[in-house]
A and B are shown apart, each in its own frame.
Chain A
């Protein structure tokens, strides 16, 4: 027995090493991962890096251009744009992570259950069709209108609009796994449906689900910025990339830095996440790329 266990351990280790090796040789994944990691680091280190609090106003220093004191300039209220962008990264990353996670867990559970129980499948998929029929940005705006502007509500709205697609992806992957002989064998051995679904099917559909989660993450960041820009996302004066842009639009003739910097940060983060997602897909799911 010990021998078998050792062999198994060694094989697992080799597999892991191979995966790490493949990851490091995938330029997309590495570049995207690095950008995402840097953004996460900036978000976490915001209190250390920001020279001035994100809400701290210096009235004498309104709308000053980028300089040594304020590398990204200041806004209409004399707040430091750099520190607002750093704290905004926290908001974006929090929303992206939560929406990604909630969507992943909920979508996966629904997809898995739908793949096994026929009646549930019919009902769930019709609900997904219905939700998909409503354009997601519009639905998110409508939800925000009803729920009111707040970070939690942004997370709730964006999760609701992203779950249907995730459920579909999980379901179609689970349907393929379900037909495999080993699942049949486990069922024949008398395992219950929940045991089979969550212990044996779930681990085998992780690849497409994780890849989709990275896109949901990126999309959540875009949509949060858009909602805040429209004034229905994260409430002012909280710093969020969309809020900085919203305030920047009013002074677009005087303060280009209030548009360009948050725009670059948003686009770069999304770019990084998309690259990362593409890289992951090549790595985990070579058939679909």
Chain B
């Protein structure tokens, strides 16, 4: 296991190097001078020059890269042109709603999807199975922002059960308001992932059901319910667990768009606003942070997988 962990950790180095190069390049991909792009058409030459100097754009590229990476290692993620706060503070503030939304969506998608997937597998080929499969097919074709808009139209504009958008914190407005404001966004965000989990659960339970040990259990008279819960589901859980890690990341990244639909002040909105204001350093910081969370998450899932399934860590 120790060898496996070390191998995994070493593999991270090149990945992080590529990530850092890509994120560093974002600001240099702008057509023309980034400083001039940030300040707009009306800026004076002196202002542009001053900003260039402040951003370190006058240094040679390798020097800029090294400065940037050194900064990141020291917790300096750059400086927003528009928000006068340290970057880590900005990220912390905007991350809270995003995490709340992601976790809520995660709960919705798993609580809904796993039982549906098991039912579909159990009643394979039946009307119920086809219905569930059809639902998941629709889910896969329904991008979160589309579903979000349709949910607003149905449940907020027509029925008025939920607010059209906005965000309430638990600290100020209580848990009920917090959940009420996040329900539609979480549904919109979680639906597509739920669809994917339904499909995966179904196929992986089916696979286990077809295995010899389940046939054996059936032959010795294990009840249908115990068969599904104790034998099939438990063994099908390993691939499902791996996917949950990926789901969390997909939701976190997807939250960016859903937040814009529902006007939730999370990192997604921060990113979109920063794009419109050409506040490149904020964009870099957000992409960096989300990528790091992703990398750590993947590592955790890999290690967990290695722990659960010895075949994984003994490979190559």
Q: How far is the CA of A245 from the CA of B294 in the complex (A)?
A: 30
Inter-chain contacts of B294 with A (CB < 8 A):
133-135
Q: Contact at B164–A252, with CB atoms within 8 Å?
A: yes
- Which of B22, B31, B249 is in CB contact (< 8 Å) with A131? B22
Given A141-B271, A267-B142, A129 and B18 contact (CB-CB distance below 8 Å): yes
Q: How far is the CA of A248 from the CA of B278 in the complex (A)?
A: 25
Inter-chain contacts of B142 with A (CB < 8 A):
267, 270
Q: How far is the CA of A229 from the CA of B268 in the complex (A)?
A: 13
Q: Contact at A145–B274, with CB atoms within 8 Å?
A: yes
At the interface, yes or no: A249 with Cβ under 8 Å from chain B? yes
At the interface, yes or no: A202 with Cβ under 8 Å from chain B? no
Inter-chain contacts of A226 with B (CB < 8 A):
143, 145, 257
Minimum Cβ distance to chain B for residue A119 (Å): 14
Q: How far is the CA of A232 from the CA of B249 in the complex (A)?
A: 22
Inter-chain contacts of A268 with B (CB < 8 A):
141
Inter-chain contacts of B58 with A (CB < 8 A):
none
Given A138-B286, A225-B143, A126 and B257 contact (CB-CB distance below 8 Å): no
Residue of B nearest to A148 (CB): B31
At the interface, yes or no: B186 with Cβ under 8 Å from chain A? no
Q: Contact at A137–B257, with CB atoms within 8 Å?
A: yes
Q: Contact at A141–B149, with CB atoms within 8 Å?
A: no
Main SS at interface, chain A: helix
Which stretch (B47-55, B72-80, B106-114, B150-158) binds chain A? B150-158
Inter-chain contacts of B153 with A (CB < 8 A):
252, 256, 259-260
Residues in A239-280 with C-beta less than 8 Å from chain B: 245, 248-249, 252-253, 256, 259-260, 263, 266-268, 270-271, 274-275
At the interface, yes or no: A142 with Cβ under 8 Å from chain B? yes
Minimum Cβ distance to chain B for residue A260 (Å): 7
Residue of B nearest to A227 (CB): B257
Residues in B266-316 with C-beta less than 8 Å from chain A: 271-272, 274-276, 278, 280, 283-284, 286-287, 290-291, 294-295, 298
Inter-chain contacts of B164 with A (CB < 8 A):
252
Q: Contact at A130–B22, with CB atoms within 8 Å?
A: yes
Q: Contact at A131–B18, with CB atoms within 8 Å?
A: yes
Given A146-B30, A229-B260, A267-B146, A138 and B275 contact (CB-CB distance below 8 Å): no
Inter-chain contacts of A248 with B (CB < 8 A):
149
Inter-chain contacts of A267 with B (CB < 8 A):
138, 141-143, 146
Minimum Cβ distance to chain B for residue A27 (Å): 12
Given A130-B18, A133-B15, A145-B26, A245 and B275 contact (CB-CB distance below 8 Å): no
At the interface, yes or no: A72 with Cβ under 8 Å from chain B? no
At the interface, yes or no: A222 with Cβ under 8 Å from chain B? yes
Residue of B nearest to A275 (CB): B137
Inter-chain contacts of B17 with A (CB < 8 A):
126, 130
Residue of B nearest to A144 (CB): B275
At the interface, yes or no: B252 with Cβ under 8 Å from chain A? yes
At the interface, yes or no: B14 with Cβ under 8 Å from chain A? yes
- Which of B157, B278, B291 is in CB contact (< 8 Å) with A145? B278
Given A141-B271, A252-B149, A133 and B256 contact (CB-CB distance below 8 Å): no
At the interface, yes or no: B39 with Cβ under 8 Å from chain A? no
Q: Contact at A135–B253, with CB atoms within 8 Å?
A: yes
Given A138-B253, A266-B146, A271 and B290 contact (CB-CB distance below 8 Å): no
At the interface, yes or no: A230 with Cβ under 8 Å from chain B? yes
Contact code string B3-43 (vs A, CB < 8 Å = 1, else 0): 00000000100111111011100111111000000000000
Q: A130-B15, A231-B272, A232-B272 are in contact. List 12 more A-B contacts (CB 8 A).
A: A127-B18, A134-B23, A134-B287, A135-B250, A136-B253, A139-B287, A142-B26, A232-B275, A248-B149, A252-B149, A270-B141, A271-B137
| A-B CB proximity, top 4 nearest | A130-B18, A135-B253, A271-B141, A146-B29
What are 25 A-B contacts with C-beta separation under 8 Å?
Answer: A126-B17, A127-B18, A130-B16, A131-B18, A134-B22, A135-B249, A135-B290, A135-B294, A138-B253, A138-B271, A141-B272, A146-B28, A147-B29, A229-B257, A231-B272, A232-B276, A248-B149, A252-B149, A252-B152, A252-B164, A253-B157, A260-B153, A267-B143, A270-B143, A271-B141
Q: Which residues of B contact A (CB under 8 A)?
A: 11, 14-19, 21-23, 26-31, 137-138, 140-143, 145-146, 149-150, 152-153, 157, 164, 249-250, 252-254, 256-257, 260-261, 271-272, 274-276, 278, 280, 283-284, 286-287, 290-291, 294-295, 298
